[in-house]
Chains A and B, each alone.
Chain A
Amino acid sequence: MSAQTTSKQDSSNPEAAIDPSHWQEQEQSFLRKLNEEKRRKAISQLALNLLGVLLFLLLWEATPHVIPWMNILLFPPPSDVVGTLVELVESGELLENIAVSMRRVLFGFVIAAVLGIVAGLFTGRIALVQHLSDPVLHGMRSIPAIALVPLSLLWFGIGEASKVALISWGAFFPIWLNTFTGVRDVPPVLVRSAKSLGATPYQTMFNVILPASLPFILVGLRQGIGIALIVLVAAELAGASSGVGYMVATSHQLFRVDIMFIGIATLGFLGYMVDRLFTFLQSRIFPWYSSK
């Protein structure tokens, strides 16, 4: 073959000498290799992730053995904690506390999202509303939600209302502020387009300004969820009779550091899962967002 392709006649049109099936074979083997490579990378990545977790647990388990003055009651190794975890799961205690906490977060967050987005739309679009509400809203935003826990207990009692109110309070501000920025910075050319296409002010607001500021609103919602979880724990540490935060607080009084660890790890896990769920829903509901 090499002799043929170097001859003058063939070099003017070299592909004529090669069977078309040759290109197909090349292409298929290329794609096969590409897929294999991708799969190998994915598997090795997952293996490394698991290995990392395993190393962490191993280090944790080994620490009390390596450091002799370490008090095992204050720093229980994973082997102890796992036993407690099984107990808590079997008795249903853990799942119930998770359910209670998540319900509080959900209600508080939904209220904050509705109020925050509406407030953001109005303050971002109407200068009068913006300037009127600016000092008050920004002043309130600077109050740490944790400072309001005692007040909330007085106003709403030790029931669900005080937790939901605190969570809505905390989550409202990032949602409002991000919505405000997004709404204010909608490119004027989009608003002009809508008007010249016959949109009324109301239609412009809901069909153009709202979707155009969605990337900002989503950032606000994501920050709001993070804050909601923080405020949840603050609300449950004081004046609650259930929930994951309550679990951590009571285990402190019972000197059960193992339960405390489980509560803390649960909070980390919940935060992580809620965030993953959020990004998953986002790519599902707003496919255009990634193609922007």
Chain B
Amino acid sequence: MTALIEIKNVSKIYATSDDSATWALQGVSVNIEQGEFICAIGPSGCGKTTLLNIIGGFITPTEGDALLNGNAIEGPGPDRGVVFQEYALFSWLTSRENIEFPMRLKGVSKADRRAMSDKYLEMINLTHAADRYPGELSGGMRQRVAVARALVNEPQLLLMDEPFAAVDAMTRTSLQEEVLRLWEKLKFSVLFITHNIEEAVFLSSKIIIMSPHPGRIKEIVPVDLPYPRDRTSPDFGALYAKVNEAFHT
């Protein structure tokens, strides 16, 4: 059986602002299997966002193959939902209209759209904010709407690019729990970019540790702690220490 995503020997070269070349990724290979929750972690410049952009279909690799279900990725598509860091909601649409946006593109009837948005608004506990515009929502609420909007297409893979980096610590932990709840319920795969070790250990079934200049995969750490995880348990602490060590050596 082929993996959901296969990244084979992928490299990406970029021009920097002073017209020199830099390797965002060099010879990276990794698979994402069905139902996995993968966190990619590393300092800035390690190519983790480039990796996500290649899988999302926003950019093409300079060298190597990026495959989705065995076929080359040829652009963005509704089979891969994306949640960006922030400001990706359409400010001229309410929460509900943002969630209904993908269905409106497909010409889904108003009643069906409404039923779906009701369902997803309830899933993210934002029924009360359905008719508010993004400008009237808190950072955490906005990201919940962004997650719901990415999920209405029922994608096989959810790509999340430091989605909770801009929210406060309290909101962040509740958003993490919420994403895990949705993941367990809807059974999609996740590629989650972060620079927060605790977040990676709390969420993922596999951690990809990356190193910068050039961007490479340093180590892949499987996480076999059962969900839901207890941040105060010794096992959690041991794994945190392990990732921390790999991260800093």
Where the two chains meet, the residues of A that have a C-beta atom closer than 8 Å to any C-beta of B are: 187, 189-190, 192-193, 195-200, 203, 207-208, 211-212, 214, 286-289, 291-292
Contacts and interface: CB of A to CB of B under 8 A. Distances in A.
Interface of B: 56-58, 75-78, 80-82, 84, 87-88, 90-94, 101-102, 104-106, 133, 135-136, 149-150, 153
B77 A192 contact: no
Contacts of A197: 78, 81, 101-102, 105, 149-150, 153
B157 to A, nearest CB: 11
A288 B102 contact: no
A291 B136 contact: yes
B134 to A, nearest CB: 8
Contact of B80 (A187, A196, A203, A214): A196
What 4 A-B pairs come out closest when comparing CB atoms? Answer: A291-B135, A198-B78, A195-B76, A196-B76
B188 to A, nearest CB: 14
Contacts of A287: 133
Given A193-B84, A198-B77, A211 B92 contact: yes
B87 A189 contact: yes
A136 to B, nearest CB: 31
19 contacts: A189-B88, A193-B82, A193-B88, A195-B57, A195-B76, A197-B150, A197-B153, A198-B78, A198-B102, A198-B106, A198-B153, A199-B105, A207-B105, A208-B90, A211-B92, A212-B91, A288-B91, A289-B92, A291-B136
A11 B92 CA distance: 51
Interface of B is mostly: loop
A210 to B, nearest CB: 10
A198 B152 CA distance: 11
A192 B76 contact: yes
Nearest to B85: A189
Contacts of A189: 84, 87-88
B84 A192 contact: yes
Nearest to B101: A197
A200 B87 CA distance: 21
Contacts of B56: 192, 196
B95 to A, nearest CB: 12
Most B Cβ at <10 Å: residue of A187, A199, A211 = A199
B145 to A, nearest CB: 12
Nearest to B132: A291
A285 to B, nearest CB: 11
A54 to B, nearest CB: 41
B92 A288 contact: yes
A220 B153 CA distance: 37
Nearest to B149: A197
A196 B81 contact: yes
Nearest to A199: B105
Contacts of B135: 288, 291-292
B94 to A, nearest CB: 8
Contacts of B101: 197, 207
Given A189-B84, A192-B76, A286 B92 contact: yes
Nearest to B75: A195
Given A190-B90, A196-B77, 10 more contacts: A189-B88, A195-B57, A196-B81, A198-B77, A198-B78, A198-B102, A198-B153, A207-B105, A286-B92, A289-B92
Contacts of A195: 57-58, 75-76
Most buried by B among A187, A289, A291: A291
Contact of A288 (B76, B88, B105, B133): B133
Contacts of B92: 211-212, 214, 286, 288-289
A176 to B, nearest CB: 22
Nearest to B135: A291
Contacts of A288: 91-94, 133, 135
B105 A196 contact: no
A187 B86 CA distance: 11
A13 B92 CA distance: 48
Nearest to B159: A196
B24 to A, nearest CB: 17
Contacts of A212: 90-92
Contacts of B149: 197
